[in-house]
Chain A
Amino acid sequence: MSLDKGTVKRVAQLARLRLDDEQLEKTAEELNKIFTWIEQLDEVDVSNIEPLASVTGHSLPERMDEVTDGNYPDRVLSNAPDRASNFFTVPKVVE
């Protein structure tokens, strides 16, 4: 398999990363090397093997339905790069 520049560009867009043409070229080359190396996994027979998502044996712990958090807009907004009163702001989104 090989990743062409177009694929890398699409993936970069999905990840909201911007790569100029030169970077695209270089990145595609690097990623191709990495994926060629990763492809050694083709040797492994995984038929009938369940995927492992977590190594913890236990089941999902649950919490009680109680309000014990929140009510501190100042903490929530204290690191905001830009804010207007108690809102975060972003460049206007046109829908």
Chain B
Amino acid sequence: MSSILDLDLASARSALQKKEVSAVELTETYLSVMSSNDHLNCYITSTPEKALDMASKSDHRINSGDALPLDGIPIAIKDLFCTDGVLTTAGSHILNGFIPTYESSVTENLWEHGAVMLGKCNMDEFAMGSANTTSYFGAVENPWRSDDRQKSPLVPGGSSGGSASAVASRLALAATGTDTGGSIRQPGSFCGIVGLKPTYGRCSRWGTIAFASSLDQAGPLTRTVRDAAIMLKAMAGHDPKDSTSANLQVPDFESALTNDVRGLRIGVPREYLLDGMPSEIEKLLETGIEMLRTAGATIVDVSMPHTKFALPTYYIIAPAEASSNLARYDGVRYGLRIEGDNLDDMYEKTRSVGFGAEVKRRILIGTYVLSAGYYDAYYLKAQRVRSLIKQDFDLVFDNVDVLLTPTAPSDAFAIGENDDDPIKMYLNDIFTVPASLAGVPAISVPVGLSKNKLPLGLQIIGKMFDEELVLRVGGALEGMAGFKSRPAGGA
């Protein structure tokens, strides 16, 4: 049984198409390990009947020679993607019992490619968090355990923590995530898997519950870079229902995986080396630099002077958009409603009970920075700084092909740690937020282990819509790093 689970997506795909394993068999295996690993809390909802139904349809197509590219591949969906007829929560109580009558464009694309849905993954409430501890449905556990056995369970990172933990613990072949400031890449790093945030506009946002519209981007969490390329190909595409969706052909990302980095110019921005950062992060970066240099790339020391302002800029823009995006959760048309004496009482009770502390905090920050008298000082100012951050990327990409940075400033920490210090929590995204603000694609690839024997990832950032190069360099790095460690927990 465990041998089937060891197949990555690409190998499972070929095993399925060669009929070495059936889609139903593969799906049943995943469903069974899902139910024996409840304690990880990766899934909010599992959909075994739907999964088996989809799998048998896949088998039918495979057997009749009409196999679709992802036929029979069991995947998990972050519970931010609306799924027709299946409870969708965004990790929040406020969507209590919400069953969409529509399917998000990204998941629709995946089903049209033959993928099989195992269930809906746990996540930080409304994708706000870096530890997956803000979910109404409880914290998600990272399948990795620190060397010190006494230590409490670790966070998987956030906000796509359920997705990352599920993929790392072999409870799904791959998963969808969303990344607003690092929510795919940082959990990827914490869980020792690959996390890809595509260019803003590459994947449709239609039907994905909004956190911060100008930043939100869907992407895959997978075991390998090749799997990420395969998943992205299926998820991406122009969508006329999303005005910000890019009207571009989706390349065959898999064919970009040549492992050839010779002659590439890879920038290492010196601003990503922080004072007080654990030395193992710096060492990991050195390892990555050495590997790429050995493979024939030219490493270039570059400067991106506005990097340090990205995080505070993000913590104005994202909450501002969120405060408005989350105004629709008012107890009138769907989700939770707490009756009140009058309309405002109903609104306030519903929203106060329905939203958790972090979401409320961000709604308050966002409401404040947009309010009369503060808009120019905060929101407009942040938009101007965002211009400068984007400019940093534009300028540096005149000189280099991709950037190499750490993904996160630490390895996974214990559940509960940092919970009482929002700023400390926010700092988790310090290396991922700049690319989000600029809209450029970035991937996190597991490269090594920390002194606690926990995974650490490096990030490759590319030019707008240059996922192919990001994947190529990511693939090369993955190959050289040969990261083979497996978590203690999970299947």
Contacts and interface: CB of A to CB of B under 8 A. Distances in A.
A adjacent to B, CB under 8 Å: yes
Interface of A: 3, 7-8, 11-12, 14-19, 27, 30-31, 33-34, 37-41, 43-44, 46, 49-58, 60-61, 63, 75-76, 78-82, 88, 90-93
Contacts, number: 152
Q: Nearest 8 CB-CB pairs, A to B?
A: A55-B439, A51-B383, A79-B334, A81-B337, A46-B384, A18-B348, A52-B387, A16-B347
21 contacts: A8-B364, A15-B364, A16-B344, A18-B352, A38-B312, A46-B384, A46-B385, A46-B388, A51-B380, A56-B200, A56-B201, A56-B244, A61-B240, A61-B243, A78-B101, A79-B97, A79-B334, A81-B334, A88-B332, A91-B343, A91-B346
Nearest to A12: B364
A83 B82 CA distance: 23
A2 B363 CA distance: 18
Contacts of B336: 81
B335 A79 contact: yes
B386 interface: yes
A41 B312 contact: yes
Given A38-B316, A40-B309, A90-B346, A52 B368 contact: no
Contact of A31 (B342, B368, B386): B368
B364 A41 contact: no
Contacts of B364: 8, 11-12, 15, 17, 27, 31
B453 interface: no
Interface of B: 97-99, 101, 200-201, 214, 240, 243-244, 246-247, 306, 308-309, 312-313, 315-316, 323, 327, 330-337, 339-349, 351-352, 355, 360-361, 363-365, 367-368, 371, 378, 380-388, 390, 422-423, 437-439, 464
A63 B241 CA distance: 9
A15 B381 contact: no
A46 B246 CA distance: 29
B334 A80 contact: yes
A79 B309 contact: no
Nearest to A62: B243
B383 A53 contact: yes
A93 B201 CA distance: 41
A37 B302 CA distance: 26
B384 A11 contact: no
A71 B73 CA distance: 36
B422 A30 contact: yes
Given A41-B316, A91-B340, 4 more contacts: A7-B368, A16-B344, A17-B360, A50-B384
B365 A34 contact: yes
A49 B371 contact: no
Given A90-B343, A91-B340, A91-B345, A58 B247 contact: yes
